[in-house]
Amino acid sequence: MKKITVIGSISKDFVVTTEQIPNQGETVVGKRFRTFFGGKGANQAIALSRAGMEVFMLGAVGDDALGTDLIHNLEYHHIDCEMVSTLKDVSSGSAHIQIMNGDNRIVIVPGANDLISIADVEAHYEKLKQMDMVVLQNEIPVETICAVIDFCVKNQIPVLYNPAPAKEIPESYIDKVSYLTPNEHEFNILFQNQELSEVLRRYPNKLIVTLGDRGAIFYDGKNEIMVSAREIASIVDTTGAGDTFNGFLAKGIMDGGSIKQSVQLGNVAAGLAIQTEGAQDGIPIYEKVKALL
C-alpha cells in the first residue's frame, strides 16, 4: 500500500446558527450549536484514509483538551499521528462560525497550526523519505511549505500542493511541485492577470483548477480537458468538498490512474461529500465512490 503524509492544519469548528448577529456589547440567543472536526490538513488526511491509503499526519495541536480530541479523531480514522506535535502553552486551532440566513461570519484562531516550523519538519525527515507522496495546503506558515517542497524535490517525492486558502508563494515553488490544485479564486491569486488557458498550457498534467459545480479543468499536453462534476440533487454543506477532491485525486494518482481518471474520482467523491453536514462527516469511502464511476 502506498504511503502518503499530509502536512497541514488540524482544528475544530464551533458553529452557532442564529436569527440575529449581536452588535457590540449585545447578547442574543442562538438557535443551534454544533461542533465539527476540521482543518484542511486533517480533512485531506481523512479523505485519503477513507480512499484506502496508508496515511500519516504531520502537524501540531495545543496542550489542551481540544488537542487530545483532535488527535483521537485522526487515530480513529486510522491515521498515524506520530509526527503530530503537542505544543505547550499554545491553543489548538479552531474556527468560530456564526450563521444567519445562510450567511456566515468566521473567526479563525490558527493556534498551533501557525507554529509548525521548518525544524518540526526536519525532525521527521527520515520518516518522510519513506513516503510515496506528500500533500500540502496553505494553513501552515509559507516558509515551512517551501522547506517541505525543497526536501521533497531533493528526495524525489511527489508533492500535491493545494494552495488553499489563497496565499502568495514564490513562483519557483509552484514550478517544483508535482500537482497544483487551486480553485478559481486561488488561481487568480497565484497567477494574477494571467489567462487560465495560457497557464494551463505552461503546466500540462500538473495544474488542475477546480471549478465548483462545473467540475475541474487541466491541460494534457494536447488539449484542455474539462472533467464535469456529477449533478447533485440536494447540496447540504460544501465545506470540505475541495479537501475530499484532493484526497481522492491523490488516491487515483497513486493507483496509477491517468489525470483524467483521478480527477473523475475526485469529482465523484466531492459530490458525495456535499450531501452531508460537516467537512469530514460526509467524506465517502472508496467503494461508494468507485460504484458511481
Q: Is the pLDDT of residue 230 over 90?
A: no
The pLDDT-based confidence of 101 (bands split at 50, 70, 90) is confident
Sign of dihedral through CA atoms 46, 203, 188, 233?
negative
Q: What pLDDT score was predicted for residue 12?
A: 95
Cβ–Cβ < 8 Å for 280, 37:
yes
Q: By mean pLDDT, which of 116-130, 137-151, 224-238 is the weakest?
A: 224-238
Taking each helix axis from N to C terminus, what angle separates 40-50 and 241-254, rounded to the nearest 10 degrees?
A: 50
- Is 281 a residue of the active site? no
Q: Catalytic: which of 120, 213, 243, 281?
A: 243
Q: What pLDDT score was predicted for residue 237?
A: 72
Long-range contacts (CB closer than 8 Å, 24 or more residues apart) made by 272-275: 272/244, 273/240, 273/241, 273/244, 274/232, 274/235, 274/236, 274/237, 274/238, 274/241, 275/232, 275/234, 275/235, 275/236
CB within 8 Å of 263: residues ≥ 6 apart: 208, 215, 216, 218, 227, 249, 252
Sign of dihedral through CA atoms 60, 116, 79, 126?
negative
Question: Alpha-carbon distance 110 to 45, whole Å?
Answer: 18
Q: For residues 42-52, give the mean pLDDT.
A: 97
Q: What pLDDT score was predicted for residue 207?
A: 98
Q: By mean pLDDT, which of 17-21, 82-86, 170-174, 181-185 is the weakest?
A: 17-21
Q: What pLDDT score was predicted for residue 71?
A: 98
Q: Is the pLDDT of residue 34 over 80?
A: yes
The pLDDT-based confidence of 208 (bands split at 50, 70, 90) is very high
CB within 8 Å of 111: residues ≥ 6 apart: 11, 61, 62, 90, 91, 92, 93, 94
Place of cell 500538473: 206
Q: What pLDDT score was predicted for residue 233?
A: 65
Question: Alpha-carbon distance 51 to 28, whole Å?
Answer: 42
The pLDDT-based confidence of 116 (bands split at 50, 70, 90) is very high
Q: Helix (H, G, I), strand (E, B), or coil: what is residue 22?
A: coil
Element (H, E) at 49: helix 40-50
Q: By mean pLDDT, which of 37-46, 195-204, 256-265, 270-279 is the weakest?
A: 270-279
- The angle formed by the CA atoms of residues 264, 268 and 269, to the nearest 5 degrees, is 115
157-198 confidence digits (pLDDT tens): 999 999 999 999 999 999 999 999 999 999 999 999 999 999
Q: Is the pLDDT of residue 260 over 80?
A: yes
Cβ–Cβ < 8 Å for 167, 180:
no
Start-to-end Cα distance in the chain? 22
Write out the E strands in 205-252. 209-210, 216-219, 224-227
CB within 8 Å of 206: residues ≥ 6 apart: 177, 178, 179, 180, 218
Q: Is the pLDDT of residue 292 over 80?
A: yes
Q: Which three cell numbers stand for residue 95?
A: 474556527
Q: What pLDDT score was predicted for residue 231?
A: 77
Average pLDDT, the chain: 94
Q: Pick left, alpha or beta for residue 149 (phi over 0 → left; psi -120 to 50 → alpha; otherwise beta).
A: alpha
Bridge partners of residue 197, in order along the sequence: none
Q: Helix (H, G, I), strand (E, B), or coil: what is residue 216?
A: strand
